[in-house]
Amino acid sequence: MSQLSGANSKFDTITHDPHPNAQCGLMLVLDPDPALIPSPPFNTEGTPLPGVFNPGQVVMMDANGNAVLGVAPLAAVGVPVFPLVTVDGDTDLDGAAMHRLTCIHGGLEIITPYFEVPAVALTPGTPLTFGITTAGSFEERAGAAATGQIYGFVGPQGQFTEDGIDLLDVIIPQNTGLF
């Protein structure tokens, strides 16, 4: 070694502290794509307006590092994207005030209403892709989505209904993209 590395090094570890409910999840705080922020971001009286990103939706980064709703590539494309789940979106009050998104790649387990509800309920262990039918939503790898990038698997609670809302238990491991 010709020189000790140390104080002048540009190396740094900049990972966010983990979310309290996803201790092993890789967390990022992203700006939404400016086109997806209301313009102006307040109503006629001055109250901030919400954006479009809900907790439980899948997002990915565009070339500017901003969040857009996630759309999985198909296997024929061959190159995966880096998906994340929004755990604090910009449709609530602090989201409307700040328009920043707290997102986790994995691993974590979530309950989300953002999935394509199939004719037959999804069962635990089913591989899931995202965004091919509706941007930002989980869906079964079937039909047009049969070769979509895998992002997670249906968790042990499977698909269920609560207060009349369809929900899905999703386990998301940390992964760099599976087809």
Partner 1 sequence: MQYQVETPEVNARFVNSNFVKKIEGGMRKEAEDTGTAFIREKLRQEAAVREILIPQGLSEDDIDRDEYTDQPKKIIDKEPDSIATYVQFQGGGRRTWFKGKRYAVYFGKIETQRFTKSKFELMTNTGDIRQILSDNSVKDMADKEDEYWYNLVSDIINLNPAVQRTTGAFQSSTFKSAMQAMLNRRRPIGKMLMTKSRYMDALDLPATTVGDQIAQRHFDEGIEASEKLWGIPVVTTIKSDIYPFNNAWIFAPQSPNNFLGNFFLLQDATLYIEQKADIISFWSYEALGMGVGNRLSMQEILFT
The values of phi and psi at residue 45, to 5°, are: -90, -15
On whether the CB atoms of residues 36 and 70 are closer than 8 A, the answer is: no
CA terminus-to-terminus distance, the chain: 42
On whether the CB atoms of residues 94 and 58 are closer than 8 A, the answer is: no
Tell me whether residue 62 or residue 94 sits nearer to partner 1 (CB atom): 94
Structure tokens at 32: 């939404």
Structure tokens at 66: 């901003």
Upstream peptide bond of 40 is cis (omega within 30 degrees of 0): yes
Choosing from 24, 97, 144, 178, the residue that interacts with partner 1 (CB under 8 A) is: 97
Residue 2 touches partner 1, criterion: CB under 8 A: no
Helix (H, G, I), strand (E, B) or coil at 35: helix
The nearest distance, CB 80 to partner 1, in angstroms, is 30
Residue 162 touches partner 1, criterion: CB under 8 A: no
Tell me whether residue 97 or residue 144 sits nearer to partner 1 (CB atom): 97
Choosing from 21, 23, 24, 42, the residue that interacts with partner 1 (CB under 8 A) is: 42
Site for partner 1 in 9-28 (CB under 8 A): 17
Tell me whether residue 3 or residue 44 sits nearer to partner 1 (CB atom): 44
Residue 92 touches partner 1, criterion: CB under 8 A: yes
Q: How many whole angstroms from its chain centre is CA 82?
A: 9
Site for partner 1 in 102-161 (CB under 8 A): none
Residues in contact with partner 1 by CB under 8 A are: 17, 39-43, 45-48, 92-94, 96-98, 100
